[in-house]
Amino acid sequence: MKPLLTAHLFPIVEARLLELLRSLTPADWEARTIAPGWRVKEVAAHLLDTQLRKLSRMRDGYAAGPPPQVDSYGDLVAYVNRLNREGVEIYRRLSPSVLISMMEVSSRESAEFHQRLDPMADAGFGVSWAGEDRSQHWFDTA
């Protein structure tokens, strides 16, 4: 597969996302999405949570305890779904303004981190949804 380098696009995409979020009305934040049980606010909370978790784990080398036992793809999906649910439960408590402020910081740090990575280096784990046991950073980033 030919590498698709996208890290240079992070600042542009994140700026557009933040611009969109700043334009939302209170009613927009409460609008339902196609994700069951998640309003627009929960989707934003999920984006913030995953960005912060990735920075903590990959940039800072921080793991909050030992990894779970994952013996199957189903185990992996259950683990990721649990992390996502827990993150949304925490960040849904914040106001849209606070979510946006936190996303401004995490977006900048995430973009800087991804731009420093060697895109051809091993990401340390596979992009499992694509059937890979090991992946390069460019594929994980894309």
Q: What is this structure's pTM?
A: 0.90
CATH number at residue 60: 1.20.120.450
Q: How do residues 83-139 score in pLDDT, each as one tens digit?
A: 999 999 999 999 999 999 999 999 999 999 999 999 988 887 777 777 777 888 888
Report if residue 142 sits inside a domain.
no
Report if residue 2 sits inside a domain.
no
> Scanning the structure block, which residue is given the tokens 């996502």?
84
| Amino acid letter for position 56 | S
Strand partners, 136: 122
Report if residue 59 sits inside a domain.
yes
Question: Domain span at residue 87?
Answer: 7-137
Cα–Cα dist 84/100, whole Å: 18
Report if residue 1 sits inside a domain.
no
Number of structural domains found in the chain: 1
